[in-house]
Amino acid sequence: MRIHALPPQLVNQIAAGEVVERPASVVKELVENCFDAGANQVTIDIEQGGIRQIRIRDNGCGIVKDDLALALSRHATSKIASLDDLEQVGTMGFRGEALPSISSVARLTLISRTPEADCAWLVSADGTEKNFDPQPDPHPAGTTVDVRDLFYNTPARRKFLKAEKTEFAHIESLIQKLALARFDVGFVLNHNQREILHLKPATSLTEQEKRIAAICGSAFIELSVKIDYAASGLQLHGWVGLPTFSRGQQDQQFFYVNGRLIKDRLVAHAVKQAYQDVLYHGRHPVFVLYLTLDPALVDVNAHPTKLEVRFREGRTVHDFLFQALHRSLAAQRPGSEGGIAI
């Protein structure tokens, strides 16, 4: 066979294979877009575990009418314009892939209104049909993305979807992670028209701790140490559970780098080492930690879903984390000054 360029639809479906694994991955991309739009209220309506419908509404900056078609086009983004921007990127998205990928494997409707516009405008795409001629809509300022029938045209992927309950559990757990990333944003999560989660924006420390308690259990705040530590241009703040609040699984470990939830071996290793002397084998700590560093020192473009990052100075980050955690935990041990017995 001779070499030929793939049709755009197929290119998008291939890209969707990387970012859209299941309904929760769609929710992640869409909610991150709400964050990037400066929204402080996000409402997520899910039907049948997200397989039937995912609808996400925000009160962010909106999209101007003339850009709506571009928003659904591949590699089109408002977030970066140059390699310099990429290396300093402060937004959750920048690849311009999510909306075109999702719309190639589902029926997607995008409705958006900027604060200045007289009305909202709607465009849609469903894998085969594109309707990029904007239609007026009474939607308020902000954006709604409605995604129906995920993988309806890619049976091989649809086959991998689990039961409605399992898919929704993934979504709920994801919303918890996103809610801990952004205390300043209010979240409402509904499943089959039932309210599952309702979190008001949390500005004060007390409100933040209430949100954490709602997600990690109310005992966590009591049985944790608050960390605020800075060294070598790195900053770590958050809450680390005392060994008495450990768990049999690693399901309550939230680690954010510049506001982005990540999974990283180096981070996991530093944490494990810090707890080594105080936790029994097989027990795992609970923590909610926020690492802040110069965006130029971390490459977030290591993976399409951006769950993995690359630290430019991994050793420094590792040692910094270990020190911060080790000291905070050591200060709590019996015999240490002002510590609580554990």
Closest distance to Mg ion from the beta carbon of 29 (Å)? 5
Burial (CB count <10 Å: 0-12, 13-18, 19+), residue 335: exposed
Closest distance to ligand ADP from the beta carbon of 97 (Å)? 6
The entry of ligand ADP, Mg ion, none near residue 143 (CB within 5 to 8 angstroms by kind) is ligand ADP
The rounded distance, in Å, linking the Cα atoms of 93 and 30 is 10
Is residue 45 involved in binding ligand ADP (CB under 6 A)? no
Judged by CB under 6 A, the number of residues near ligand ADP is 22
Is residue 285 involved in binding Mg ion (CB under 5 A)? no
Residues 92-121 that bind Mg ion (CB under 5 A): 93, 98
* CA R_g for the chain: 22
The rounded distance, in Å, linking the Cα atoms of 173 and 339 is 33
Is residue 59 involved in binding Mg ion (CB under 5 A)? no
Closest distance to ligand ADP from the beta carbon of 190 (Å)? 18
Closest distance to ligand ADP from the beta carbon of 255 (Å)? 22
125 neighbors 108 (Cβ within 8 angstroms): yes
Closest distance to Mg ion from the beta carbon of 32 (Å)? 6
Closest distance to ligand ADP from the beta carbon of 184 (Å)? 16
Is residue 58 involved in binding ligand ADP (CB under 6 A)? yes
Among 12, 26, 29, 255, binds ligand ADP (CB under 6 A): 29
Query: What is the 3-class SS of the chain, one letter each residue?
Result: CCCCCCCHHHHHHHHHHHHCCCHHHHHHHHHHHHHHCCCCEEEEEEEHHHCCEEEEEECCCCCCHHHHHHHCCCCCCCCCCCHHHHHCCCCCCCCCCHHHHHHHCCEEEEEEECCCCCCEEEEEECCCCEEEEEEEECCCCEEEEEEECCCCCCHHHHCCCCCHHHHHHHHHHHHHHHHHHCCCCEEEEEECCEEEEEECCCCCHHHHHHHHHHHHCHHHHHCEEEEEEEECCEEEEEEEECHHHCECCCCCEEEEECCEECCCHHHHHHHHHHHCCCCCCCCECCEEEEEECCHHHEECCCCCCCCCCEECCHHHHHHHHHHHHHHHHHCCCCCCCCCCCC
Q: HSE-up of 158 (CA within 13 Å, CB side)?
A: 12
Draw the binding track, 66-95, toward Mg ion (x: CB under 5 A; -: no contact): ---------------------------x--
Among 16, 50, 59, 94, binds ligand ADP (CB under 6 A): 94
Draw the binding track, 4-43, toward Mg ion (x: CB under 5 A; -: no contact): -----------------------------x----------
Residues 129-188 that bind ligand ADP (CB under 6 A): 143
Compare residues 34 and 329 and give the one whose CB is closer to ligand ADP: 34
Among 74-82, 126-134, 186-194, 323-331, which window interacts with ligand ADP (CB under 6 A)? 74-82
Closest distance to ligand ADP from the beta carbon of 183 (Å)? 19
Compare residues 97 and 209 and give the one whose CB is closer to ligand ADP: 97
Is residue 44 involved in binding ligand ADP (CB under 6 A)? no
Compare residues 19 and 223 and give the one whose CB is closer to ligand ADP: 19
The rounded distance, in Å, linking the Cα atoms of 119 and 134 is 11
Among 58-66, 241-249, 261-269, 289-297, which window interacts with ligand ADP (CB under 6 A)? 58-66
Is residue 98 involved in binding ligand ADP (CB under 6 A)? yes
Q: Which residues are at the interface with Mg ion (CB under 5 A)?
A: 33, 93, 98
Q: Which residues are at the interface with ligand ADP (CB under 6 A)?
A: 29, 33-34, 36-37, 58, 60-63, 71, 77-79, 93-99, 143
